[in-house]
Every structure is written in C-alpha cells, then in structure tokens.
Structure 1
Amino acid sequence: MKILFSPSETKIAGGDELKFDKSSLIFPNLYEKRVLALHKFNDFLQNASFDELSKLFGLKKDEEVKYYSNDIFSKPLMKAILRYNGVAYEYLKYRSLDENAQSYIDENTLIFSNLYGSILAKNFIVDYKLKQGENLPDFVFDDFYKQNFSDELDKMLENEDIIDLRAGFYEKFYTIKKPFLTVKFLKNGKVVSHFAKAYRGILLRELAINKVQTIDEFYNLNIKKLKINKIIQKKLRNEIIFDIFE
C-alpha cells in the first residue's frame, strides 16, 4: 500500500544539524537531479529582488522574506512528516500515534513537495517556502519532477495498491499509470473543499492505525463521522464519495 499526500504551506521551524546527502531523500540514484533543482532554487534566493522573493514565497513581511531567503543548504533538517503542520497534518496527529503506526506512515506515505518533488514521509527536508504554483523564470518544478522522477515512481508503485489523497494541483508532479483510489467528501449533499484537508489527514491516520495493506481492507474500515455514499469509476480512477455526518 502506498498513500500519495500533499505538503502544506505552513511548516515547523528548526530541526537537527544533519548533513544533506543521498540518504536524506528517496531515490538516491536521482540525487543529482534533485540537487540540481535545489541549487536552482537556492541560487535564485541569493540573487532575486525583494519583490521577486515575496511573490515566490507568497509573503509580504520583511523579516519573513529574509528568513526564507537564507541558504537552504545551511538550514537544519527535519523529517518531512514532522516538518509540515497544515490542516491535514494537524488532523493526522502523527506525534500521538504509536511507533508501529508512525512507521507505517514513514514507509508508505509519498508527499509531493513543491520544492523537493516526491519524498517519503520519513525523508529529511529544510524549512523552506515555495508558494504552490510558483516557479523560477527558467525552471518549472512540477514539469521537472514529472519528467525526471515518473519512471522511478512507476517502479515503486508497480505492485502496490494506491490511495491518492493529494490535492488536485499535485497531480502535475506525477500521473498514476495503474488503477488507484481517490476520495471526495460531501456534507449535506455539497462537496467539501477547504476542510477536505482535515478529512484527508483523518483518513491517513486511520490507515496507519489499522495498518491497511489493500484497497479491500480500506473499504472495510469503520471511520468515525464518515460513510461511503458511492464509488465512481473513471478509467483508472476509482473515486469514493464519503458523506460526512455528525
């Protein structure tokens, strides 16, 4: 089982003074490609104007722009699943899980980072800022990662059941080539958008607690406040529609 997940704009600062190397991220054979993207980003940080950085980060305050324009290779590292702290991660409550559930997430959750591309939850990253959809003048992150990392992702996922909990934007980084499951949430008959992030976090938590290994096992989960309404098949995509109830 592999779960595809989104990053978050907000992150926790700090971390450990660890060396960034091939062991920091998944796909060590593509380390040089990843470093190329990181160096492109870092070089831009050192040479761009305040307005350019403000747009890239989606920030306006001087102190925030200055903080995120620091050399990313000198920043401390933290496990990605701990670094991100947006809505989905708040509802995941990773730190409250037992060791086995945390290990399940570490090994089976692929996060699609705006800066790093596809990484495992256990991989180590810095506290960076790159607004969703922003790119460098001569470098488009999602195109780069889709072109250079898709083959390795295909191999990794070849014999895995896949649950795609990503927001739609992150499909730009990788297109799934085999049948997979995705989700949508309804409340009072209306599609839930922003708060869907919370339920994606809840679903990942339930997958980890129950050590789910197959799609069939996922169908049989009894998740509080969620009930399967219907399943819609669209080519390779099987979309579960959940009703949210109190």
Structure 2
Amino acid sequence: MLVLLPPSETKRIGGDGPPLRLDALSFPELAGTRKVLADELVELAADVPASRAALGLSPRQDDEVARNAALWSSPTLPALHRYTGVLYDALDVTSLRGAAAARARARLAVGSALFGLVRAGDPIPAYRLSAGSALPAGGTLAARWRPVLDPVLAAVAADELVVDLRSGSYAALGKVPGAVDVTVLAEKPDGSRSVVSHFNKAHKGALARVLAGTRAEPTDAAGIAGIARRAGMRVERPAPLSLAVIVAA
C-alpha cells in the first residue's frame, strides 16, 4: 500500500542532510523534469518581484524567494520531516516507533510541484513552489508533469494499492489509475452533509497515520475502510474506489 499525501506550502527550514542530489531521490525517471524546474526556480529567485508574482508571495515572504535561490546548496531533510502544517501535525510521523515507523517510511509518499513524487525518506531542501504557480517558462505545472508523472504513478499502482489523499491541484499533476480517493464530509444533526474545508487536512492526516502504522496489508477500498473503522473513524464507501470520512459538523 502507498498513501499519497499532498505537500504543504509551509516547510521546516534548515536540515542536517547534504545539499540536494537528484540521484538520491526515488523515481529517477522524474530527474529530468526535476532538474529543469529546480534550475528555473533558482533563476527566477534572482528577480524578487518576478518571484513574488509567479509564486503568489507578498513582500513579507521574501525569505521564501531566498530559499529558492539556495535550492542547490541548502541542507536537506527527509521529505516527511520537511513538510509541516495541519495534515502533517495530525500525521505526527515522528512519534511512530519501531515497526510502525518502518511501515510509515515504506508506505508514505508526497506529490510535489517541484519533485513530482518523493518517498518519505527522500532528502529534499526547503523550497516554495505550489501546483498553481505560473513559472516564466510558461505552461501549467500539470501540463509539464503529466507526461512523465502519469507513467510513474501507473507503475506504482500496478504493484500496490494507492490511497490518494492529494488535493485537486496536486492530483492534477499526475493520475493514479485504480487509486482509492478520499473525501471528508461534515454531517449536521439533521443528517445533511457538506464537504469539509477547514478541517479536511486534519482528518486526512489522521487517516494517513492509521494507514501508515497498521500491520494490515489491505488490497482494496473495503480493506482501507475496515482499518479506519477499527481505529474509531466513521467511514462509508460511496463508490468502489471512493472512501468518505464522516465527521460531526
């Protein structure tokens, strides 16, 4: 099983790993696009106003531009330690121990606008690039990633069950055939439901934690639902490849 997470705009700075080496990352088929995008980010960082416009930043976020400028020389951290925010707080991967931690490292991956797809332990620097960013070279990031990322994700899905927790803009970077798609629905006392927005990431992070640490090896959406229910989560299966996490409004 592979649990595919979205990245976060906020990232832990610093690190104790050596500078970025593309040959140290998983999925070497993506190295060419990674190199092109990384070089574009570094070049863009030389023009701070252009960086703000392309990346959707304010002057108060110029530190993000400086981090892009140092992309090839700054220290790295394992991907799951680099990303921060609501989902990663709920996942709390650093609190997993022993066999659960080992399973998490094997099962968790992140869909990234800069790196395409990285596994939990892949060493990456701090950077700023979102799926909706518009780089000066032109074309959407989805248009640039899909030709190379789609085959990689298809190969992964052919070998193991994929649970896709990515948001829409990151899911657009590459399709995963046969993946289990997860939504979070808030249920009101009258039984009406709506898609959760604010707490969506927290509930997906909690599900990711359950799936990362379980001893079970699910092979389909029914197996994923069973694991979630045993962990105390309320889930339904609206379609064979869909899972809905139901929470109180």
TM-score between the two structures when normalised by the length of structure 2: 0.86
Hey, what does 1:87 align to over in structure 2? 86
Counterparts of 1:1-246 in structure 2, within 5 Å, are 1-46=1-46, 48=47, 50-55=48-53, 56=55, 58-61=57-60, 63-65=62-64, 67-139=66-138, 140-178=140-178, 180-188=180-188, 189-214=193-218, 215=220, 216-221=222-227, 222=229, 226-228=233-235, 230-233=236-239, 238-245=241-248
What is the Cα deviation at residue 173 of structure 1?
Answer: 0.8
After superposition, the C-alpha distances for 1:20-39 in whole angstroms (9 at most, x for unaligned) are 32442112244233212211
Instruction: Quote the Cα distance in structure 2 between the aligned partners of 1:62 and 1:121.
Output: 27
After superposition, the C-alpha distances for 1:106-147 in whole angstroms (9 at most, x for unaligned) are 222221112211111211111111244112121432222211
Instruction: Quote the Cα distance in structure 1 between the aligned partners of 2:204 and 2:244.
Output: 13
Count of paired positions: 240
SS in 2 for 1:73: coil
Instruction: Quote the Cα distance in structure 2 between the aligned partners of 1:17 and 1:123.
Output: 10
One-letter amino acid of the structure 2 residue matched with residue 9 of structure 1 = E
What is the Cα deviation at residue 63 of structure 1?
Answer: 5.0
SS in 1 for 2:50: helix
Identical aligned pairs, as a percentage?
Answer: 24
The verdict on how the C-alpha distance between 1:59 and 1:67 changes in structure 2, with shifts beyond 3 A counting, is same
Instruction: Quote the Cα distance in structure 2 between the aligned partners of 1:124 and 1:108.
Output: 16
Cα RMSD of the aligned pairs, angstroms, is 2.3
Q: 2:178–2:241: 8 Å Cα contact kept in structure 1?
A: no
Instruction: Quote the Cα distance in structure 1 between the aligned partners of 2:182 and 2:64.
Output: 36
The verdict on how the C-alpha distance between 1:190 and 1:31 changes in structure 2, with shifts beyond 3 A counting, is closer
Q: 2:20–2:125: 8 Å Cα contact kept in structure 1?
A: no
SS in 2 for 1:219: helix
One-letter amino acid of the structure 2 residue matched with residue 209 of structure 1 = G
Q: 2:86–2:201: 8 Å Cα contact kept in structure 1?
A: yes
Instruction: Quote the Cα distance in structure 2 between the aligned partners of 1:152 and 1:65.
Output: 29
What is the Cα deviation at residue 86 of structure 1?
Answer: 1.1
TM-score between the two structures when normalised by the length of structure 1: 0.87
After superposition, the C-alpha distances for 1:200-238 in whole angstroms (9 at most, x for unaligned) are 10001111221342134322123556312x3222xxx72
What is the Cα deviation at residue 191 of structure 1?
Answer: 2.2
After superposition, the C-alpha distances for 1:166-199 in whole angstroms (9 at most, x for unaligned) are 1111111111222534233223233211211000
What is the Cα deviation at residue 90 of structure 1?
Answer: 0.5
Structure 1 stretch 7-16 or stretch 184-193: which is displaced more? 184-193
One-letter amino acid of the structure 1 residue matched with residue 8 of structure 2 = S
